[in-house]
Structure 1
Amino acid sequence: MKPYKRMKKLAFILLCFMLILVARLAQIQLIQTESFSRHHINLIEASVRQRTQEMVIDDGRGKFVDQNGEPLTHHSSLSLVMFPFLKELKWPSDKVASFVGMSEYTLKDKLNKASEPVVIEKEITEAEMKSINSLKIPGLFAVPLQKDDGGHFAEHLIGLTGQNRDLLVERYDERLKEGELSTQTSVGITGLQSAFDEFLIQEEESKLLYHVDRQGNPLFGLNVKYTGAPNPFYPVKVKTTLNKEKQSAVEKIVDSSGLKQGGAVLVNIENNTVEALVSRPEINEVKPYGDGGVYNRMLIPYTPGSVFKTVIATAALEQLPNVENRTFNCSTNIYGKKAQKDQGTLSFHDSFAESCNATFGQLGKDITAKDEHMIETYAKKLGLTTKAGWSGEVFHLQNFAQLPEEKKGMVWTDNTTKSPNAISQTSIGQLNVKASPLELANMMATIGRGGKAYEVRAVDKIQYKNGNTLFSFPKQELEGGGIKRETAEKLQMLLTGVVEEEKGTGRRFASLPYEVAGKSGTAQISDKKALVNKWFAGYFPRENPKYALVVVDLSVKDEEAKTNGVFYDIVNNVYELDQQSKRK
């Protein structure tokens, strides 16, 4: 009986094992074919990929171009593609080699080393493409390829894409269920890639493919299949307001300067559009959130220091009669004690040019005495407490924002007591005051154009693949923004004095080919480490303003700041590019 019982136990164990095996096979082949394990692997797609060799011609995701239609994140090229099975065939390799400008030996060597489709990295002409394809060689094609440029150009503004199942489900659950999208579909994670993801999301890749056996040999003959819908409308193009040449120049200037944290933003005053935007540090694509490099610092508020005196000057001009004829004791600081730098007695105009803290500490108290909310009111008029970026209705999207990562600035926290000292500190851009570089650039654009305030656009329109417009973003006034023309003209004189006056804090910029008006700022953020935020915000040319520019070097020692050098070089470079454009 004992052997019989052991046999029964063994049979039972074997039966359990078989049932588990069958259940596992059913799970793999029938139940969880499209979402296997906690990693949600699509087993059908994985199986097809395992026995398929392919060459992606276009990933199907929408693309970004600059204001002139120049591609920003990709480029198209006519290239030769060779599939590995070609090495087993006889074909006119000498003739093909002559088309691509390389020796027959080199061409065949590249093929012999290939285990998957290989692209010959030499662009060919359209005529050469037609000639190569007319040979009708199995496994050899001349095709237009869309190639990713690596994602480093205007990376903070354009943003990152990646595979993220949670985001896919959150945004496109129904399309996933219906099979329109797969778990391998890339989505926009940051920047414009995220904001415009619904328009950019890939419909279908365009690719050449063929099926192989375990040894890599053709499974169904030598026919290479083309997949991809020949759709004249998709993928779309997002036409940004960036100027590719200026963006490239600003990136080079910022990087060569050694500016490690901060950046620059250049705004076209007439259209109120971003022509260049650079944020540093660069994005670490392996661990984008690890060192904070993924954050666009041009959209984040920081302590602005004396640049904020522009707000106090605006309020004083409109609310304090005869302020332009007053004089101020600049031998003292904002607390009435002896100042580190004795500037003597200064007029209102000279106080702004030389950035006298005592003057603006007093003016802040004077305007607050009239209305305790006066500083906040004028900060809003100049766009420093409202998001500067374009927002509005786009089709079914009620609150679409071009720059959803943007944070708005502030003047006071909710629990701040408006004591005389707190008002003085606030009036010189310290204490709780925060403003983003984009907001400050928009403030300078508002003053430069004569007081009208608009939202800043980073995208002009969304275009179909054939070039027709899907949606155009209109110029929109900034809610609650704008100042009187008369006030703007007086501010222009004050900002000019910063550069023109002998003791002006922006005197360095007087030698530039474009005349500059602007305001410097040095915000103390750490007394212990002697760290500051070093700013210069301005516009140019002075007489007929075309550009507003803000440069900031964050958390740096004052004497090591790169701000002025970067601002100087950008203006110089923009001037040279404008002159080149006129000569064309």
Structure 2
Amino acid sequence: MKKNKRINSGARFLIYTFILLFSILAGKFFYVTYTQSAEGVNLIEYGEQKWLKSDTLSAKRGNIYDRSGQPLAEDIPAYTVIAILKKDYPVHVKDPKEAAEKLAPILDTDEEKLEKLLEKENVFQVEIPAGRNISHSKKEKIEALKIPGISFDRGSKRYYPNQDFASHVLGFTGLNDENKRAGLMGLEKSLERQLGERDGHVTFMGDRYSNELPDSEEKIVPPKNGKEVYLTLDEKIQLYLDQAMTQADKKYKPKRMVGIVADPKTGKILAMSSRPSFNPNKKDITNYTNYAISSAYEPGSTMKIFTLAAAIEENVYNGNAYFQSGSYKLPKITRPIYDHNRNGWGSITFDQGVENSSNVAFSILAREKLGYERLRTYLSKFGLDKETGIDLPKEASGRVLYNYEIEKVTTAFGQGTTVTPIQQIQAATAVANGGKMMRPYMIEEIKDPKTGKVIQDHEPFIAGRPISEATAKKTRDILEKVVKNGTGRPYAIEGYSVAGKTGTAQVTDEKTGKYLHGWGENIFSFMGMAPKDNPRLLMYVAVDRPSIKYPEMGYTPVANIFTSVMKSSLQYLNIVPEDVKLAPGEKTKKEHGSPLLSLKGENAADAAERLKNSGFQPVVLGDGNTIESHEPYEGAKLLKGERVLLYTGGKVKMPDLTGWSYMDILRLSSLLSLKETVTGNGFAAKQNIKKDSIVKKGDFLVVQLKSARAAAEAEEKSKEDDKKVTD
């Protein structure tokens, strides 16, 4: 009995012990289940950290386009080189020295430093600094080396296909204070809310190497792409401006330059450029200021446009009245106001005063004809005392210096008072657009890339009506005489009537506060519009202190830029050169040429023969038999001897362009979708793509134009070369 008693007691002890332990375990289980933690560690968070994996779903920053849809800023694929160093991972860098030897030349980095990086211990992988954002071609070169453990992270980078094209307008992107990509300058910065992207992500349960586990449930937060921005800029006109300014920059090395081309009917900015410039792909920046909108300076005689228009509007201008040029004395002021040649031109008419840019003429208009109060009112009407409101960041405004009589008089001819180039452009639209002053703008519309829905649309806005249509026309007529007979002669363009005004502004020395003196120590500028009777383009160019020596003239680089850009742009817009004179008794200009009928679908050989017999020059492009398209277009008026380009598809051989006109080259580029660059004036003399070379869509065509005589000599040489080959 005693023995059984002892056994029962032992059994009970074991049972109680088991129950106690079970209770503790059960309690612990329920505690963990309830609190979801153990030893102060949140088990769900621990599990997620250990097994829950996440991959980024990259979003795309919005593209920026010109008005025809050509990309000006876009995201392109980029790759970052990754080296896996964990030795128990199946594929890792096995020989750091050999890997560094092969990678260093491609990545342009120090081989020794790279080797040390690849020898790192206790890390799974490293990112190679010199291998960030590499191009696809570099990636392919590295892949061809077949280095174990080297892989790539795919991403994207911002790319500006036209390099230093409108760089101060577009700006650039980079890493912000939060180490995230964002716009840091220009439209890239001001439109960050619209252009900016937001990455998405996908989460799943995975192993230690981030391989997804079976039956894992994915959770996806989709990426949000940036909006698409369309500008008023025209890629072709902007390229004309950039190229002309780059040439002037190289030759004359000015302190700074600015150029603006606008559509005066709408206020659209078609081109805008500042120098010094930079390439946003390289970020080689020395100047962060967009001088076109952010720099105010004394305009010089371009200001006379608005004083003249005000005097005409107030009916106090008589162009046939005479005044004594040379100097003009103000009461109580010792030093008189002088004309730029000091001596003047004797007794001349006010129209002649405008043509010769007489300061005396405009002093009389301001003081004796208009009166200071009326002149000041017109400065406001023309918007010269406030910002234009253009949709670009960091617009500045000038300062109207109008306290003392001398300041009021000098303001009339552009001295003392300061304005920005964009303020002058806006004011000049009133003269070019029948009295209606158009607010300048750059952003055409903003679209949702997914739906194509227009989120923001810009309509032309009339900023004011400072003058009447009749005044605008009379002002243009007088400004045309400036170009024909006066200081604007270097700005004349053959075949087109140009109205405009020159400017030579004094520059203040930042150290002394006094005006600089010396040959070329001025800002030389020109405001011009064409064609005069119905201006399609309005252009302002300013060159600050070009490096010139006597007797070189400061207006030369300005005239070179204006005439080449304006002429190229007018031709690009298919604005036909005007007839200079009408025949006796004619009231309207004659319609010249015969309309071209559609040739599409015709046999190329038959059509070419027919055109040749009719006195035209057919050029067949392609090895097909049937005409797919042609230039000029159907209905275009053709003169005898003009070229007609017939595209038949297939392989296209480059023709000999020697002797071709600028318009012929534009038509060829349009028909074959080439990217042309044309330099010089006259007719084609040189081309980068050799005759009979196969050309493809998107090829770059560079053509140098020369005078008719030089082009004829080049054409003769080309014929001789062809004869030698044939012989």
Q: Report the TM range for the smaller structure's normalisation.
A: 0.5 to 0.7
Partner of 1:295: 289
Secondary structure of the residue aligned to 1:121 is helix
Partner of 1:462: 446
Secondary structure of the residue aligned to 2:327 is coil
Secondary structure of the residue aligned to 2:539 is strand
Q: Distance in 1 between matches of 2:327 and 2:394?
A: 41
Is the Cα–Cα contact under 8 Å of residues 331 and 345 in structure 1 kept in the other structure? no
Counterpart residue identity of residue 569, structure 1: S
Is the Cα–Cα contact under 8 Å of residues 512 and 568 in structure 1 kept in the other structure? no
Q: Deviations over 1:79-124 (max 9, x none)?
A: 9999877x988xxxxxxxxxxxxxxxx99x989x996697532999
Q: Deviations over 1:474-516 (max 9, x none)?
A: 22221x4531111111111111111112xx1111222434332
Cα drift, residue 388 of structure 1:
2.3
Cα drift, residue 59 of structure 1:
6.0
- For the structure 1 residues 88 and 519, does the alpha-carbon distance in structure 2 shift closer, same or farther, using more than 3 Å as the test? farther
Would you say 1:340 and 2:342 are equivalent positions? yes
Choose which of 330, 354, 357 in structure 2 pairs with 1:355: 357
Q: Deviations over 1:407-440 (max 9, x none)?
A: 1233225xx32x2x33332221102x11211122
Counterpart residue identity of residue 137, structure 2: E
Q: Deviations over 1:288-309 (max 9, x none)?
A: 9995x10110012211111111
Choose which of 203, 209, 214 in structure 2 pairs with 1:219: 209
Partner of 2:379: 379
Partner of 1:237: 228
Secondary structure of the residue aligned to 1:323 is coil
Q: Distance in 2 between matches of 1:364 and 1:227?
A: 74
Q: Deviations over 1:296-355 (max 9, x none)?
A: 100122111111111211121122446233212123356266852432222222211111
Partner of 1:27: none
Choose which of 430, 434, 455 in structure 2 pairs with 1:446: 430
Counterpart residue identity of residue 496, structure 2: Y
- For the structure 1 residues 570 and 83, does the alpha-carbon distance in structure 2 shift closer, same or farther, using more than 3 Å as the test? same
Q: Distance in 2 between matches of 1:284 and 1:147?
A: 12
Partner of 2:183: 188
Partner of 1:154: 166
Counterpart residue identity of residue 172, structure 2: L
Secondary structure of the residue aligned to 2:261 is strand
Partner of 2:248: 257
Q: Distance in 2 between matches of 1:235 and 1:337?
A: 57
Is the Cα–Cα contact under 8 Å of residues 498 and 518 in structure 1 kept in the other structure? yes
Which runs of 5 or more structure 2 residues have no equivalent in the other structure?
Answer: 1-48, 92-101, 108-113, 115-126, 141-148, 330-335, 508-514, 575-662, 672-727
Partner of 1:553: 543
Q: Deviations over 1:379-406 (max 9, x none)?
A: 222232232234xxxxxxxxxxx12311
- For the structure 1 residues 57 and 70, does the alpha-carbon distance in structure 2 shift closer, same or farther, using more than 3 Å as the test? farther
- For the structure 1 residues 557 and 364, does the alpha-carbon distance in structure 2 shift closer, same or farther, using more than 3 Å as the test? farther
Q: How does 1:424-443 map to 2 (within 5 A)?
A: 424-431=409-416, 433-443=417-427
- For the structure 1 residues 145 and 403, does the alpha-carbon distance in structure 2 shift closer, same or farther, using more than 3 Å as the test? closer
Secondary structure of the residue aligned to 2:492 is helix
Would you say 1:521 and 2:523 are equivalent positions? no
Counterpart residue identity of residue 67, structure 1: R
Secondary structure of the residue aligned to 1:521 is strand
Partner of 1:563: 558
- For the structure 1 residues 285 and 146, does the alpha-carbon distance in structure 2 shift closer, same or farther, using more than 3 Å as the test? closer
Runs of 4+ in structure 1 over 4 Å off: 56-59, 79-85, 113-119, 138-147, 226-231, 283-291, 336-339, 579-584
Secondary structure of the residue aligned to 2:459 is coil
Partner of 1:410: 399
- For the structure 1 residues 62 and 379, does the alpha-carbon distance in structure 2 shift closer, same or farther, using more than 3 Å as the test? same
Range moving further from structure 2, 342-351 or 316-325:
316-325
Is the Cα–Cα contact under 8 Å of residues 206 and 229 in structure 1 kept in the other structure? yes
Is the Cα–Cα contact under 8 Å of residues 536 and 551 in structure 1 kept in the other structure? yes
Q: Distance in 2 between matches of 1:275 and 1:249?
A: 11
Aligned-residue identity in percent = 22
Q: Distance in 1 between matches of 2:532 and 2:338?
A: 37
TM-score after normalising by structure 2:
0.55
Choose which of 304, 327, 331 in structure 1 pairs with 2:299: 304
Q: Distance in 2 between matches of 1:228 and 1:310?
A: 62
RMSD across aligned C-alpha pairs, in angstroms? 4.4
Q: How does 1:468-487 map to 2 (within 5 A)?
A: 468-478=453-463, 480-487=464-471
Is the Cα–Cα contact under 8 Å of residues 401 and 408 in structure 2 kept in the other structure? no
Q: Distance in 2 between matches of 1:486 and 1:455?
A: 21
Is the Cα–Cα contact under 8 Å of residues 288 and 294 in structure 1 kept in the other structure? no
Is the Cα–Cα contact under 8 Å of residues 314 and 378 in structure 1 kept in the other structure? no
Partner of 2:197: 202
Counterpart residue identity of residue 74, structure 1: E
TM-score after normalising by structure 1:
0.67
Q: Distance in 2 between matches of 1:187 and 1:143?
A: 19
Would you say 1:276 and 2:266 are equivalent positions? no
Q: Distance in 1 between matches of 2:219 and 2:432?
A: 53
Is the Cα–Cα contact under 8 Å of residues 311 and 375 in structure 1 kept in the other structure? no
Pair member with larger Rg: 2
Is the Cα–Cα contact under 8 Å of residues 301 and 503 in structure 2 kept in the other structure? yes
Is the Cα–Cα contact under 8 Å of residues 80 and 140 in structure 1 kept in the other structure? no
- For the structure 1 residues 301 and 326, does the alpha-carbon distance in structure 2 shift closer, same or farther, using more than 3 Å as the test? same
Would you say 1:509 and 2:491 are equivalent positions? yes
Secondary structure of the residue aligned to 2:480 is helix
Is the Cα–Cα contact under 8 Å of residues 283 and 294 in structure 1 kept in the other structure? no
Cα drift, residue 456 of structure 1:
0.7
Is the Cα–Cα contact under 8 Å of residues 305 and 430 in structure 1 kept in the other structure? yes
Counterpart residue identity of residue 396, structure 2: K
- For the structure 1 residues 143 and 285, does the alpha-carbon distance in structure 2 shift closer, same or farther, using more than 3 Å as the test? closer
Q: Distance in 2 between matches of 1:158 and 1:359?
A: 42
Secondary structure of the residue aligned to 1:73 is strand
Secondary structure of the residue aligned to 1:543 is coil
Is the Cα–Cα contact under 8 Å of residues 442 and 548 in structure 1 kept in the other structure? no
Higher relative contact order (CA 8 A, sep 6+): 1
Q: Distance in 1 between matches of 2:309 and 2:426?
A: 15
Q: Distance in 1 between matches of 2:219 and 2:176?
A: 25
Cα drift, residue 284 of structure 1:
8.6
Q: Distance in 1 between matches of 2:291 and 2:257?
A: 6
Cα drift, residue 163 of structure 1:
3.2
Is the Cα–Cα contact under 8 Å of residues 492 and 563 in structure 2 kept in the other structure? no
Q: Distance in 2 between matches of 1:298 and 1:337?
A: 30
Partner of 2:691: none
